[in-house]
């Protein structure tokens, strides 16, 4: 049986500004004055979250996009979210 992603809700902090470009997501942490650029799969994952998809649905989309098993896609999403939380780009509600 595959391990399911925990159902959690995330939001961007008030100090983060971001915009979706045709090929990337640009983020600026105004608190630290630090820019971030997401491209490829991380940009797609960020965009899917911005559309309101939950982690499980995003993992399903990653599995299809990367032609990989659901368990591997869940790990990819988990790793991205953990990194974004550690970087202060997302806050768990």
38 — phi, psi (to 5°)? -110, 130
Residue 52's pLDDT is what?
A: 87
Residue 27's pLDDT is what?
A: 96
Residue 7's pLDDT is what?
A: 61
Burial of 2 (0-12, 13-18, 19+ CB in 10 A): exposed
pLDDT by position in tens, the chain (length 93): 345 555 667 788 999 999 998 889 999 999 999 999 999 999 999 999 989 898 899 999 999 999 999 999 999 999 999 999 999 999 877
Task: Give the global pTM.
Answer: 0.85
Residue 6's pLDDT is what?
A: 56
Residue 10's pLDDT is what?
A: 78
What angle (nearest 5°) sits at the alpha carbon of residue 66, between those of residues 88 and 69? 95
């Amino acid at each position: 049986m595959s391990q399911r992603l925990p159902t959690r809700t995330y939001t961007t902090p008030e100090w983060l500004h971001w915009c979706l470009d045709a090929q990337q997501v640009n983020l600026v942490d105004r608190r630290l004055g630090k820019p971030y650029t997401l491209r490829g799969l991380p940009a797609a994952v960020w965009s899917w979250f911005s559309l309101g998809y939950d982690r499980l649905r995003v993992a399903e989309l990653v599995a299809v996009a990367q032609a990989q098993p659901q368990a591997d896609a869940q790990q990819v999403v988990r790793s991205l979210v953990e990194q974004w939380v550690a970087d202060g780009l997302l806050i768990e509600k």
